[in-house]
Amino acid sequence: MTSSAPHIEKQTLPGQTAPSLLVLGRWTAAQLASSDQFKQLQAHLSSQPASAQAAWDLRLIERLDHIGAQLLWQHWGGKWPAQLQLLPTQRAVLERVAQFSGKNVRAPSPTWLQRFFSLGEIILTVISHLRGFIRLVGQLFLDLIRLVRAPRQAPWRDVSGHVYAIGATALPITALVGFLIGVVLAYLSAQQLKQFGADSFIVNLLGVSLVRELGPMLAAILIAGRSGSAITAQIGVMRVTEELDAMRVMGIPHGFRLVMPRAIALAIAMPLIAVWTTLVALLGGMLAADVSLNISPQFFINALPAAVEPVNLTLAMSKSVVFGILIALIGCHYGLRVKPNTESLGQGTTASVVTSITVVILVNAVFAIVFKDVGL
C-alpha cells in the first residue's frame, strides 16, 4: 500500500488503554476512482472498530474531500465519535456531510408567483407559435400569387421531388396499415351485425367509415409521422449547417423555395394517398366480410356505390388537401424555428409530429361537425 493510499493505523499513546486510530493518506474521489482501491478501503474500514468510544485522529490526512468524509461518516454509523481530533477545515467538510447525509434534498416548491410566471411563459410561447404560423400562412399566399404571375420561375423540380418522396414512397406503409385496419374493422363489425341479422349492412358501415373518415385521417396521421417529421428534420439540419443563413444572404426566400414546394406537394399527394389507403382498407374489409359473414366480393362491390354517396369521396379528398397543407406548414414552421444545435432539432421534430397529428384530429372533428348532414 502506497503512502498516499487511504488507510487507518492503530497507535497506542502513553497513558491510553485503547489504541488511537490514525487516518492517513488521501481520502479523495480521485484516489478512490479505481474500483480495486475502493474495495480495498471498504475491506480495511470493515476491519476497524466503529464504536463511538474509539479515539480517532484525522490531523495527519494528506487530503480529505466529501467522498472520503462520506465513507468515514458511514463507518461511524452517522454519529460523531466521542474522541475525535481533526483540523477546522476537516470539521467543516464532515459537518457538511453530516448535514445532508440521510436526508432527501428536495427542490423548494414553487411559489404562486413563480407558477403565475410559468403560466405566462407558456401563454407567450403559444402566442409566439401562433404568430409565426400565421405569418407562414400569409407568406404562402403571397408566394402562390407570385407563382401564378410567373409560373416559369417556380421550383417545379422541387415540387415533383417532394411528391415522389412524400407520396410514392409512402404507398407501401399506408397500404399495409389500411389493409389491417379494414380487416380489424370488418371482423369487429361482423360480431355485432350477426346478432341482429344485418350482415349486408357491413358494406354501409365499412364504406361510410373508411371513405369518409378513417381513410383520410389514417393516411394523414401516417404522413404526419413520416413526412412531417422529415420536413422538420430537413429544414432543421439546414439551420444547424447554416444553409438557411446562406440562402438569406444570397437573397433566396425561404418561403418560395422551402415552404411552398412542400405545401404544393402535400396538397397534391395527400388526396391520392387517402384514396389509395381507403381502397386498400376496403379490400381488407371485403375479404374479412367474405370470411366472417360469407358476403361475396361481387356483392360487396355492387352494393358499395349505393351505400356510399359520391359526395363522401369529394369531402374526403377536400379534407385531405387541407390535411396536407397543414402538415407541410407545421413541419416547415418547426423546422424554421430550430436553433443551431442538435437538441433543438430533436425537440422540434418531436413537437412537429405531435402538433401535426393533433391538428389533423381537430380539423377532422371540425369537418365532421360542419358537414354532418352531407352524404349521410
Q: What is the pLDDT of residues 342-370, one digit of tens each?
A: 888 888 899 999 999 999 999 999 988 88
- Model confidence pLDDT, tens digit, residues 193-213: 777 777 777 888 888 888 888
pLDDT value at 16 more than 80: no
* 161 and 265 inside one domain: yes
Nearest to 355 by CA among 121, 130, 123, 119: 130
pLDDT value at 326 more than 90: yes
Nearest to 100 by CA among 80, 70, 75: 70
- Please report whether residue 181 resides in a domain: yes
Q: Lowest-pLDDT range, 110-114, 289-293, 301-305, 344-348?
A: 110-114
- Please report whether residue 29 resides in a domain: yes
DSSP symbols for 307-347 = HS-HHHHHHHHHHHHHHHHHHHHHHHHHHHT--SSHHHHHH
CA-to-CA distance for 48 and 9, rounded, in angstroms?
A: 9
pLDDT value at 20 more than 60: yes
Domain extent at residue 293: 132-370
* 65 and 213 inside one domain: no
Tell me what pLDDT residue 49 has: 64
Tell me what pLDDT residue 15 has: 56
* 363 and 223 inside one domain: yes
Mean pLDDT over each residue of the chain, to the nearest integer: 83
* 178 and 258 inside one domain: yes
Calculate what percentage of the chain has a pLDDT beyond 70.
92
Strand partners, 23: 8
User: What's the whole-number mean pLDDT along residues 119-129?
Assistant: 88
User: What's the whole-number mean pLDDT along residues 156-173?
Assistant: 90
pLDDT value at 121 more than 90: no
Note the residue count of the chain.
376
pLDDT value at 12 more than 70: no
- Please report whether residue 289 resides in a domain: yes
Tell me what pLDDT residue 94 has: 80
DSSP symbols for 180-214 = HHHHHHHHHHHHHHHHHT-GGGHHHHHHHIIIIII
Tell me what pLDDT residue 177 has: 92
For the chain, the domain total comes to: 2
* 78 and 175 inside one domain: no
* 207 and 315 inside one domain: yes
Extract the C-alpha cell encoding 118: 410559468
Tell me what pLDDT residue 25 has: 77
Q: Lowest-pLDDT range, 56-60, 165-169, 208-212, 290-294?
A: 56-60
* 275 and 354 inside one domain: yes
- Please report whether residue 69 resides in a domain: yes
Tell me what pLDDT residue 103 has: 53
Q: What is the pTM of this model?
A: 0.68
Q: Which of the two residues, 39 and 148, has the higher pLDDT score? A: 148
- From 100, 115, 149, the end of a domain falls on 100
- From 80, 100, 120, the end of a domain falls on 100
Q: Which of the two residues, 52 and 301, has the higher pLDDT score? A: 301
CA distances from 246 to 17, 135, 230, 238, 239 (A): 82, 22, 21, 10, 10
Residue 23 phi/psi, 5° resolution? -95, 120
* 259 and 343 inside one domain: yes
Give me the sign of the Cα torsion angle 26, 27, 28, 29: positive
pLDDT value at 327 more than 90: yes
Nearest to 143 by CA among 130, 154, 158: 154
* 152 and 41 inside one domain: no
* 49 and 163 inside one domain: no
Tell me what pLDDT residue 145 has: 92
Tell me what pLDDT residue 100 has: 73
> What letter would DSSP give residue 371?
T
* 89 and 147 inside one domain: no
* 279 and 355 inside one domain: yes
CA-to-CA distance for 94 and 198, rounded, in angstroms?
A: 81
- From 100, 123, 153, the end of a domain falls on 100
Q: How confident is the model at residue 173 (pLDDT cuts 50, 70, 90)?
A: very high
Q: Is 274 exposed, middle or buried (0-12, 13-18, 19+ CB in 10 A)?
A: buried
Tell me what pLDDT residue 134 has: 92
User: What's the whole-number mean pLDDT along residues 23-28?
Assistant: 78
